[in-house]
Structure 1
């Protein structure tokens, strides 16, 4: 006859196996057909793949689902539908995706089971696509509202961190876009302010670089040009000196200008890595987690009696943590020509760098939460196991329960590998002067092997500032 301890162990083993089989895949692996269709440019199939995926349909992934739906609708040219999804995503963010129950899930299970709250740079990118959608729908007033919301987003980001922290709060590219939108609305005063704010972000760095992007020459020229248009000659002179250039705006083009964005590649994916830590107590009795080499030291966030913590019960911890992996874009360069005149693209946003650096910035805080959760589970397992043998005899039920806690602790630990992966890896841009009437614009793309292909678009020069975003998502 099977004794109770053996029966319990078998039950827990079966439950653990089911848990492992259902939860070991990363987010990218679970939604792979969708991203494969996006990369192939088959947006109709991509939408079907997205709507048919059970993981992204879960309530905890609603924000991610809405952002992906908004993105795929934008790629399909369904701008009104795209903004319907992005507006709903905005509402979710405004309402908040945390709360006591969500926090409890993070403590008892893992962060991958919590509501997806979005990366900080992803929230700025919502404004980018919403603004373009409104522009393409000829809804200029709504686009300007979106431009103003970029400032509000920057303020919300800044409120999360101490001003002394070197954290990602403002987004230089979003402020550049804000200036372009104001300029398209003939508001050169606010355009100058936005361009200036974007430039000052770059100028805070000794090499004028912000998250992998060097200050674009176009931005330097936009700051000086709009300063002169406003009659701010002193500011214009100061920026010329700061940038080391002497800029004299040319005669406005009869057909206006086209701001051309090239969105290349796909955002990095998140995978899971395992890290090993030990719990140590220093001479003052304080508890810390340390990795094998001692290079990472994280305080133990424990609200109970630290003096009664048995460090031997948690002397070795295995934690799962997310890691970004970049996806190499198929195309390495692009050349833009308009009626035989070449325009030069400049990188404006490096989403790869933003992803890697922002994850690194919050690593210690997130590791602290993960380690504390794993340690508490270990302590519970140790306590039950000790109680099972407290009277000199082995209590089969308690011993079985301790194995169950051990198995649950092992298999419930999973890194949060979710992110908005249909975003481009890089965004470059150029300002193209247009002639009145028809303009034939050619985009010549080259890959790493030197093979090239050319795409052509036609733009009508109307005398106003226009926008066009071109995506190569593979």
Structure 2
């Protein structure tokens, strides 16, 4: 009987060692980030091989999973846009819009987040990504000569802003509106000769900047063009008092110019690629204060996060819950190949002005919600640890070892190790920055050149022909590397 007992212990030991080795292998294999998992697609985009990029996307098993459908649709819409397939692009973006309207949160999805990790939940999109859907949809409609549909998209920017405002009760300092989207909205209204709504949109965009002491919004200074657009459209509407007030506020003396015979071209330059998410591991301990409340603290003691535990807190043995390894997402910026650019039209050089800094938006919005994210992750880990040690304690009761419970305890430990993973997903083919220039056109044929300069000072030039029709037109150009 003693020999049998020894054999059983030996078997359990070998099983545990084997499962630990297997678990470590699975853990290392499962640690690849989203960016690493779609690397071929990402590389094809950065080299402007959009046909291959679409093939890479369609055969990637990760992005094909139902939980990643929103990401798939946004990427498909982006690639179709880059290929000039504007109708097809909006088919995907409209489907993405429908998913967002229906809502991507459910009780079962929340349970997945509690039991596994947020990477296993349905991707719900970053707030700034939702605004960017409207940007590309509006451009697609304009290129398809569907002006009314583009105007509908302009109105939806306001609805998106209202949704964000409701989310944060309009009192939160977090990202709840998008100054660039409101600028775009004003441009779209202006292209439809609706100067009243154009003024309202430009004014709303300017007021977002003015709320900041340095007149910047997420890394973007207020463009001079926006200041001039506010005053110009105020004057066109006969709002002389408002025009004078904004001149004083902006500290400029605006002198209206004669409209160009050929109209104007709004040229958007989309440079670089959005930052990617990687995983960073932090270690926390569970502590109890004098009131009996539970908290997590990091090794340096700089972070103290409450543990909202639904069970009996008095029975939680903080000593048994050893140091917790928590995985969190972290953005890493991608350095664009081109460092600057300018426009040359009709022998005049026009500088680009930054309108949207997606890098800054990504970093700041993640930072704003990080404490909440940490609380969710740590609570999930602590609950798993408490369950693990409860089972292992039960296995050693009455001076005897219950092999089944002991194995279950180690299984919970292994499960906790394997399931811990940060959500490293994001819409990665968005540009890092969007800059714009407003170009006056002559009637008829115009040659417009974009002069690109890289970090080594080398210059490349691309020229397009634009027909000056007397109306406001749009063009976007992407350098995604």
- TM-score class, shorter-chain normalisation, is over 0.9
Separation in 1 of the partners of 2:237 and 2:320? Answer: 68
Separation in 1 of the partners of 2:169 and 2:414? Answer: 40
Separation in 1 of the partners of 2:336 and 2:468? Answer: 32
Identify the residue that residue 395 of structure 2 maps to in structure 1.
Answer: 388
Separation in 2 of the partners of 1:346 and 1:472? Answer: 16
- In angstroms, what is the RMSD of aligned CA positions? 1.2
Report whether the alignment pairs 1:47 with 2:47. Answer: no
Report whether the alignment pairs 1:451 with 2:458. Answer: yes
Structure 1 stretches of 4+ moved >2 Å = 1-22
3-state DSSP of counterpart to 2:277: strand
Report whether the alignment pairs 1:375 with 2:378. Answer: no
Report whether the alignment pairs 1:302 with 2:309. Answer: yes
Identify the residue that residue 178 of structure 1 maps to in structure 2.
Answer: 185
User: Is contact 2:270-2:433 (8 Å) kept?
Assistant: yes
3-state DSSP of counterpart to 2:451: strand
Give, in angstroms, the shift of residue 384 of structure 1: 0.8
Separation in 2 of the partners of 1:251 and 1:409? Answer: 68
Identify the residue that residue 363 of structure 2 maps to in structure 1.
Answer: 356
The match for 2:134 among 127, 141, 145 is: 127
Identify the residue that residue 3 of structure 2 maps to in structure 1.
Answer: none
3-state DSSP of counterpart to 2:213: coil
User: Is contact 2:170-2:176 (8 Å) kept?
Assistant: no
Identify the residue that residue 84 of structure 2 maps to in structure 1.
Answer: 77
Report whether the alignment pairs 1:338 with 2:345. Answer: yes
After TM superposition, the structure 1 stretch with the greater mean CA deviation from structure 2, 288-297 or 58-67, is: 288-297
Separation in 2 of the partners of 1:350 and 1:55? Answer: 28
Structure 1: runs of 5 or more not aligned: none
Separation in 1 of the partners of 2:64 and 2:179? Answer: 33
Correspondence list, 1:3-22, <5 A: 3=9, 5-6=12-13, 8-9=15-16, 12-13=19-20, 16-17=23-24, 19-22=26-29
User: Is contact 2:286-2:294 (8 Å) kept?
Assistant: yes
Correspondence list, 1:17-416, <5 A: 17=24, 19-416=26-423
3-state DSSP of counterpart to 2:319: helix
3-state DSSP of counterpart to 1:421: coil
Separation in 2 of the partners of 1:468 and 1:2? Answer: 73
Identify the residue that residue 422 of structure 1 maps to in structure 2.
Answer: 429
After TM superposition, the structure 1 stretch with the greater mean CA deviation from structure 2, 421-430 or 393-402, is: 393-402
User: Is contact 1:300-1:368 (8 Å) kept?
Assistant: yes
Separation in 1 of the partners of 2:249 and 2:431? Answer: 32
User: Is contact 2:76-2:92 (8 Å) kept?
Assistant: yes
3-state DSSP of counterpart to 2:232: helix
Report whether the alignment pairs 1:462 with 2:475. Answer: no
Separation in 2 of the partners of 1:47 and 1:40? Answer: 13
User: Is contact 1:5-1:397 (8 Å) kept?
Assistant: no
Separation in 2 of the partners of 1:326 and 1:79? Answer: 29
Give, in angstroms, the shift of residue 164 of structure 1: 2.8
3-state DSSP of counterpart to 1:424: coil
Separation in 2 of the partners of 1:204 and 1:395? Answer: 64
Give, in angstroms, the shift of residue 24 of structure 1: 1.4
Separation in 2 of the partners of 1:221 and 1:16? Answer: 61
The match for 2:440 among 433, 436, 440 is: 433
3-state DSSP of counterpart to 1:450: coil
What count of residue pairs does the alignment treat as equivalent? 474
- 1:204-230 per-residue CA deviation (whole Å, 9 max, x = no partner) reads 001000000000000000000000000
Separation in 2 of the partners of 1:148 and 1:294? Answer: 47
Separation in 2 of the partners of 1:233 and 1:315? Answer: 68
Separation in 2 of the partners of 1:38 and 1:154? Answer: 30
- 1:222-250 per-residue CA deviation (whole Å, 9 max, x = no partner) reads 00000000000000000000000010210
Give, in angstroms, the shift of residue 10 of structure 1: 5.5
3-state DSSP of counterpart to 1:343: strand
After TM superposition, the structure 1 stretch with the greater mean CA deviation from structure 2, 159-168 or 435-444, is: 159-168
Give, in angstroms, the shift of residue 17 of structure 1: 4.6
Separation in 2 of the partners of 1:221 and 1:269? Answer: 35
Separation in 2 of the partners of 1:266 and 1:2? Answer: 57
- 1:340-386 per-residue CA deviation (whole Å, 9 max, x = no partner) reads 11112100000000000000000011100000000000001111111
TM score, norm. by length of structure 2: 0.97
Separation in 1 of the partners of 2:76 and 2:368? Answer: 29
Give, in angstroms, the shift of residue 7 of structure 1: 6.0
- 1:383-418 per-residue CA deviation (whole Å, 9 max, x = no partner) reads 111111111011122111111111111121000000
Separation in 1 of the partners of 2:311 and 2:165? Answer: 33
Give, in angstroms, the shift of residue 91 of structure 1: 0.4
User: Is contact 1:301-1:369 (8 Å) kept?
Assistant: no
Separation in 1 of the partners of 2:258 and 2:137? Answer: 31
